[in-house]
């Protein structure tokens, strides 16, 4: 009986240690927060702000959808079939045909200019793409408000 109680005590202590251990959260990965009102993107890695960039979201007549998303697909180079085969380097698709991607039209960053996608400078799109690849689609969360 005594060995059973010792074994039970060891089990209880192990369970208590497991329950009190830190839990991996979404903060351990990449969090992207896009503000349509300020046309900015903040990128957090492990819960810490790593980048703050200007973006362009949907112009009048075109909406960038609000919500919480996970990346669905990554494409190093994509061309829009819908909009004149426009290049979309380092695309992170988050809802159907909507993506975060690089643009050559950097003079428009900081104001609404897209057909609904979220545009970044090409260098920043490459950095974000690399982070999403490193932490994985499941380790990345995209918030648009």
Beta partners for 44?
Answer: 31, 49
Residue length, the chain? 145
Residue 15 predicted with pLDDT over 50: no
Q: How far is CA 73 from CA 15, 33, 40, 84, 98, in A?
A: 39, 18, 22, 21, 10
Q: What is the tens place of the pLDDT at every residue in 59-105?
A: 999 999 999 999 999 999 999 888 888 899 999 999 999 999 999 99
**How much is the pTM?**
0.80
Nearest Cα neighbor of 119 from 127, 111, 22 is 111
- CA atoms of 24 and 35, how far apart (whole Å): 26
Rounded to the nearest 5 degrees, what angle is found at the Cα of 95, between the Cα atoms of 46 and 116?
100
Residue 85 near residue 101 (C-beta atoms within 8 A): no
Instruction: Answer with the residue of higher pLDDT: 89 or 4.
Output: 89
Report H helices in 65-144: 122-135
Return the top range by mean pLDDT from 2-11, 12-21, 105-114: 105-114
């Amino acid at each position: 009986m005594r060995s059973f109680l010792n074994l039970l005590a060891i089990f209880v202590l192990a369970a208590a240690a497991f329950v009190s251990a830190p839990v991996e959260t979404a903060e351990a990965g990449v969090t992207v927060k896009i503000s349509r009102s300020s046309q900015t993107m903040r990128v957090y890695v492990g819960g810490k702000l790593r980048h703050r960039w200007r973006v362009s979201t949907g112009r009048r007549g075109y909406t960038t959808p609000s919500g919480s998303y996970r990346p669905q697909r990554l494409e190093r180079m994509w061309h829009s079939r819908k909009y004149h085969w426009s290049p979309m380097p380092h695309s992170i698709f988050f809802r159907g045909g909507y993506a975060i991607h690089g643009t050559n039209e950097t003079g428009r960053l900081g104001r609404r200019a897209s057909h609904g996608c979220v545009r970044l400078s090409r260098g920043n799109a490459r950095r974000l793409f690399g982070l999403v690849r490193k932490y994985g689609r499941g380790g990345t969360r995209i918030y648009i408000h």
